[in-house]
Structure 1
């Protein structure tokens, strides 16, 4: 039995040793370092616990009340919290910006980058994943938005019936 186990282990090592050099094998086993996507990194204000469960309904496109505008964050980062900057630029600044070609910038550069990245990822996708449409476990699922009014009703009904507030399906808003 001991000799059989030794031979099995040796055969396993001989079979798997050539796979160590494969770059795809390293990424499949999670041994390859992956840097974060600089376009997907978003800083958010910390979450706060609401005083009550009667949450206001979310409005698409409205800014979060606990966050300041991005331009204000940038000014605060560059010039400090107490410095006030003027909206007018000097002639030197205007000349520099003109020479840099900032008047010709694309307004939808974020969409262009996202589209190009998606095309590149689809092009580099292995054939089996393209054919079988198999998703990796590390791909993030799509986000869901909770319907605040229906969630409040569900929680209140659970309290009336003496059930745990987490019992039942959380209502979501389909986009």
Structure 2
């Protein structure tokens, strides 16, 4: 009888479970087997919060410094010293002497130009083998090149004949025309 009673209990539990699950609209969702993903089309944006106008404030004058912005020099100084305001008020004597020895008061205003010049020199020196192999020819300089020997000869002839030095055609160096595949191969 124990085997029959256990079967009856299992059948009754199955019927009760099936009945309770049939009352649910989505059994997987009820058991936690399905994810609940938000619908991106049902999200409604909210209007931004607005503050009432402050009539005591005046619009800024063109070219005037903004009161909420800190100059880059003061910002850098505060990063180095760890202070939030003027470094003279919060810096210790050691920090002040360190800043003086570091030369913060002698900053070069043309430092960007110097760094750009030095980095362009380094970039030119560090041309790799493949760059030299691929770009083996120097680019032709723009404009026309004057033939110095022929120009000197033309000026001497004009002086000997009593004519102005600017008279006559200026001799130029004719550049050789490159072939269609000359730069590729």
Relative contact order, CA 8 A, sep 6+: which one is greater? 1
Q: Give the number of the structure whose alpha-carbon radius of gyration is greater.
A: 2
TM-score, normalization by structure 2 = 0.25
User: What TM-score results when the alignment is normalised by the length of structure 1?
Assistant: 0.26
